[in-house]
Amino acid sequence: MTQANEILNSNIHEVIVTTTNEEGQAHSAPMGISEVNGHILIKPFKPSATYDNLKQHRQCTINYTDDVRVFAGSLTGRRSWDMLPCQQIEGFYLSQALAHTELEIVGFDDDDPRALFKGAVVCDISHAPFRGFNRAQSAVIDAAVLVSRLKMLPEEKIQQEIAYLLIAIEKTAGPRELEAWGWLMAKIKDSGIELNDE
């Protein structure tokens, strides 16, 4: 199998990637990563802070978290989450991560519109058990993806998808999911799109 095929066939996992900027500060952003031949592939669009940071500091963290406020927060200007120092690289991880992976970047393709960074695992650390799937968490992540594409998608598609995702929110959301959902709905409405989500 060629590397391109392996990339197409591998699962995409929605995670929070924490990079470090020139001033040594942490920057966290949702990214869809995949694993190919034991390496983690990260594909940030250009321009983005994640791309800039990975180019100048070739270490980062993959955070696995069920606190979907971090996903929604990144898209709505809320990024001040508690961070802890990494164990084996210069970097940080989210205090609410269930687990995190520390990576060393060992490969880089400066493709357009998305660059590709290939990371080798330095260490994998677990902090708390995974307690199962929650539909409202998935709905928040899907809504966050819609918000990240607000300027590219037709208004009607956004309205239809939010109406569907709202079913899972109403049935299964807890306080964190409701807070994250509220931030995303406010952002969609601020863009001028009307929603029947009350």
Among 34, 148, 159, 172, contact with ligand FMN (rule: CB under 6 A):
148
Amino acid at site 48: S
Q: Which stretch binds ligand FMN (CB under 6 A): 39-47, 91-99, 122-130, 182-190?
A: 39-47
Beta carbon nearer to ligand FMN, 99 or 141: 141
CA distance 19 to 143: 24
Q: Which stretch binds ligand FMN (CB under 6 A): 60-68, 84-92, 116-124, 139-147?
A: 139-147
Beta carbon nearer to ligand FMN, 145 or 178: 145
- Residue 196, class by beta-carbon neighbours within 10 Å (0-12 exposed, 13-18 middle, 19+ buried)? exposed
CA distances 99 to 22, 62, 63, 94, 137, Å, are 26, 9, 6, 9, 17
Q: Which residues inside 87-126 make contact with ligand FMN, applying CB under 6 A?
A: none
User: In the structure encoding, which two tokens stand for residue 68, read together?
Assistant: 């979907």
Beta carbon nearer to ligand FMN, 21 or 88: 21
**30 contributes a contact to ligand FMN by CB under 6 A:** yes
Q: Nearest approach, Cβ of 186 to ligand FMN (angstroms)?
A: 16
Tell me the backbone φ, ψ of residue 67, rounded to 5 degrees: -85, 90
